[in-house]
Amino acid sequence: MTSKRRVAYIDGLRAIAVLLVVAHHAVVASAAAPRSLLDNVLKHGNHGVDLFFVLSGFCLSYPTIAALRHEGATLFDTARYAAHRIVRIVPPYWIAYAVILAFFVTILKLGFGRPDAMPYYYSTSDFLKQLFFIDVHTQFLNGSFWTLPIEFRWYFVFPVLLYVWTRSPVWFLVIAAAALGLSYAPASIADVQALPAFMLGI
């Protein structure tokens, strides 16, 4: 989202989402028992991830809809959108990935780490698949990266969803309701499970 259209409270919501996720992992990692009422509440902080997905949908749609409705734009510039997404996401992701990989390699070279630690069984296939946002049967070098392939695939779906939303909000709601229903199916994939939150942001 550009500074021109920046919404001040978005960063605050991101901070809340971060704190929720941190609280969830802190409670889950704790072996203390019995758990207090607060622990039982905080363990549901994993829904902070859902908030991130909502914010992702909002940050993609808000500038575009503002341009279409208030700045005289008549068409969604798909090429510009794709280029902006690639520049915004891919280089920082690759840099972060390289730094983490270098850290693990350095640790191993120094003789630290356990035989069952991730770098020992992290394959070339895992490396290449993560490099190009493929998460099927992939062992992540950093577990927090698991949402990125999902969001990257949403970037391909977003122009279609935006078109439906601007042309027929009713059909958009029908699609959202269908996605919500499918998200509870036993064989539902992560993309579908998280799609309703993404659409809520739009």
Q: Give residue 5's pLDDT.
A: 62
Q: Give residue 177's pLDDT.
A: 94
Q: Give residue 71's pLDDT.
A: 62
What is the spatial distance between Cα 44 and Cα 130, in angstroms, rounded to a whole number? 28
Q: Give residue 29's pLDDT.
A: 80
Q: Give residue 93's pLDDT.
A: 94
Question: Which residues in the chain land under pLDDT 50?
Answer: none
Indicate the Cα dihedral angle 133, 175, 202, 68, nearest 10°: 110
Q: Give residue 125's pLDDT.
A: 83
Q: Give residue 78's pLDDT.
A: 86
What is the spatial distance between Cα 148 and Cα 14, in angstroms, rounded to a whole number? 16
Q: Give residue 185's pLDDT.
A: 80
Kindly report each contact of residues 12-17 with a partner whose C-beta sits within 8 Å and lies 24 or more positions away, as own/partner: 13/51, 13/55, 14/52, 14/55, 16/48, 16/51, 17/48, 17/49, 17/51, 17/52, 17/55
Q: Are 73 and 88 in contact (CB under 8 A)?
A: no
Q: Give residue 4's pLDDT.
A: 58
Q: What six digits make up the tokens of 116? A: 């069952």
What is the spatial distance between Cα 197 and Cα 176, in angstroms, rounded to a whole number? 9
This prediction has a pTM of 0.83
